[in-house]
């Protein structure tokens, strides 16, 4: 399978915790679909202290995984949303 484009899209979205509304990540997302995964190379700014864990309420919002051979965070359904 093809790897994701390194430069990535121009549009950035902010990802928030759905429980406490804390800002988690600023991410360059492509397309109009739902937030399913975040490639680590496309993260612009990371506001978390420990990976995949909300700094406000300590809720785990994603899992660390490989997608198409590239490191990514797989978002757990309903734990985070984008604006």
pLDDT digits 0-9 by tens, 29-39: 988 999 999 99
Domain ranges across the chain = 12-82
Strands 70-75 and 12-17: unpaired
pLDDT digits 0-9 by tens, 1-46: 777 776 678 899 999 999 999 999 999 998 899 999 999 999 999 9
Which pTM value belongs to this model? Answer: 0.88
User: Helix %, strand %, coil % for the chain, to 5?
Assistant: 5, 45, 55
Long-range contacts of 7-12 (CB under 8 A, 24+ apart): 8/39, 8/41, 8/42, 12/44
């Amino acid at each position: 399978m093809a790897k994701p484009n390194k430069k990535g899209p121009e549009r950035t979205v902010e990802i928030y915790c759905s429980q406490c509304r804390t800002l988690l990540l600023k991410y360059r997302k492509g397309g109009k679909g739902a937030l399913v995964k975040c490639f680590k190379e496309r993260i612009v700014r990371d506001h978390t202290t420990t990976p995949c864990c909300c700094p406000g309420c300590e809720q785990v919002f994603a899992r660390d995984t490989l997608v198409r051979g590239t490191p990514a965070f797989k978002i757990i359904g309903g734990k985070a949303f984008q604006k």
